[in-house]
Chains A and B, each alone.
Chain A
Amino acid sequence: MMDIIDLSLPQLTLSLRRGELSSREVVRAYLDQIERLEPQLHAFITPTPELALAQADQADQQLNEWRKAPHGDLPRLCGIPLVVKDVLCAAGVRCTCGSRILENFVPPYSATAVERLLEDGAPLLGKTNTDEFAMGSSTENSAFGTTRNPWSLERVPGGSSGGSAAAVAARMAPAALGTDTGGSVRQPASYCGVVGLKPTYGRVSRYGLVAFGSSLDTVGVFGRTVAEVALVYQRIAGYDPKDSTCVNLPVKPIELDQTPESALKGLRIGIPDEYFHTGVPGSGIQPEVETSIRQAIAQIESLGATVEIIHLKHTPYALPVYYLIAPAEASANLARYDGVRYGARAETASSMWEVFYKTRGEKFGAEVKRRIMLGTYALSAGYYEAYYGQAQKVRTLIKEEFEHAFQSVDVIAAPTTPTTAFRIGEHVDDPLSMYLEDIFTLPANLAGIPAVTFPVGFDHQGLPIGMQLMGAHFQEERLLQVAHAYQLVADWHLHQPTLSKPR
Chain B
Amino acid sequence: MTLSLAEVEHIATLARLELSPEEKELFRAQLSSILDYAARLRELDTSQVSPTFSVLPPRSVLRQDVPHPGLSLADLLHNAPQAEDRQFRIPPVFE
Contact = CB atoms under 8 A, between A and B. Distances in A.
A352 B91 CA distance: 5
A372 B92 contact: no
Given A338-B16, A352-B93, A380 B46 contact: no
Nearest to A243: B61
A370 B31 contact: yes
B92 A389 contact: no
A287 interface: no
Contacts of B66: none
B90 A387 contact: no
A276 interface: no
B86 interface: no
B31 A108 contact: no
B23 interface: yes
Contacts of A435: 34
B71 interface: yes
Given A106-B79, A345-B81, A355 B46 contact: no
Contacts of A288: none
A351 B91 contact: yes
Contacts of A452: none
A459 B94 CA distance: 61
Contacts of B80: 340-342
Contacts of A457: none
A26 B37 CA distance: 50
Interface in B27-80: 27, 30-31, 33-35, 37-42, 44, 46, 49-56, 61, 63, 71-72, 75-76, 78-80
Contacts of B53: 215, 392
B41 A357 contact: no
B30 to A, nearest CB: 6
B80 to A, nearest CB: 6
B18 A358 contact: yes
Interface of A is mostly: helix
Interface in A299-346: 314, 317, 319-321, 323-324, 331, 335, 338-345
Interface string B5-22: 001101110111111000
B16 A357 contact: yes
A373 interface: yes
Contacts of A393: 44, 46, 49-52
B83 to A, nearest CB: 9
A390 B41 contact: yes
Contact of A342 (B11, B56, B72, B79): B79
B37 A215 contact: no
B20 to A, nearest CB: 8
A399 interface: yes
Contact of A392 (B27, B37, B38, B51): B51
Contact of A331 (B15, B33, B49, B51): B15
Contacts of B7: 377
Contact of A317 (B16, B31, B41): B41
A353 B13 CA distance: 11
Contacts of A353: 93
Contact of B31 (A320, A345, A374): A374
Nearest to A322: B38
B91 A448 contact: no
A244 B51 CA distance: 20
Contacts of B23: 366, 369
Interface of B: 3, 7-8, 10-12, 14-19, 23, 26-27, 30-31, 33-35, 37-42, 44, 46, 49-56, 61, 63, 71-72, 75-76, 78-82, 88, 90-93, 95
Interface of A: 104-106, 108-109, 201-202, 215, 241, 244-245, 247, 314, 317, 319-321, 323-324, 331, 335, 338-345, 349-358, 360-362, 364, 366, 369-370, 372-374, 376-378, 380, 386-387, 389-397, 399, 431-432, 435, 447-448, 473
- Give the top 8 A-B pairs by smallest Cβ distance, nearest first: A448-B55, A361-B18, A392-B51, A342-B79, A345-B81, A108-B75, A393-B46, A244-B61
